[in-house]
Amino acid sequence: MTHNIERQHPVGHPLAGRPLRIGKVLSDVVRAHLLMTNGTWATLGVHRQCVDLITPETLPHLWLSILKATKFEEDNRALLGAKPLNAKQKEATDQFVIGLASTVPLGVCCIEEYA
């Protein structure tokens, strides 16, 4: 986890034990800036000790995990306790997911400390 977990889903909930409310960024988390194949940047919060594990071999698997998690959150907003999206928000979220899926990271360009 890269953030403090303030609350978890209660026992009996389909997502029991998973984060319900996420707090502040943990002190050992850094930003990893990724250069994407379309020339844009993506920024990930990563534990300092895990940065070296992001290699050309592991990056595609990491990116696929991010895509799956983003799609899961979009598809399960109500289950996660989030308010439904209006049409404009839904369109923006769909475009965001399409954007994520339409490019892949080339590699980590730089690491930055959270301020």
pLDDT at 88: 94
pLDDT tens digits, 7-62? 777 888 887 887 777 666 667 788 888 898 989 888 888 888 888 888 888 888 88
Q: Could you tell me the two tokens for 77?
A: 């907003």
In angstroms, rounded to a whole number, what is the distance separating the alpha carbons of residues 34 and 47? Answer: 15
pTM, entire model: 0.65
The residues, ordered by sequence, that sit 6+ positions from 93 with a Cβ below 8 Å of its Cβ are 74, 85
Alpha helices (H) in the chain, listed in sequence order:
59-75, 87-101
C-beta of residue 79 within 8 angstroms of C-beta of residue 15: yes
User: How many domains are contained in the chain?
Assistant: 1
Residue bearing tokens 């730089």: 110
Domain of 47, in residue numbers: 3-113
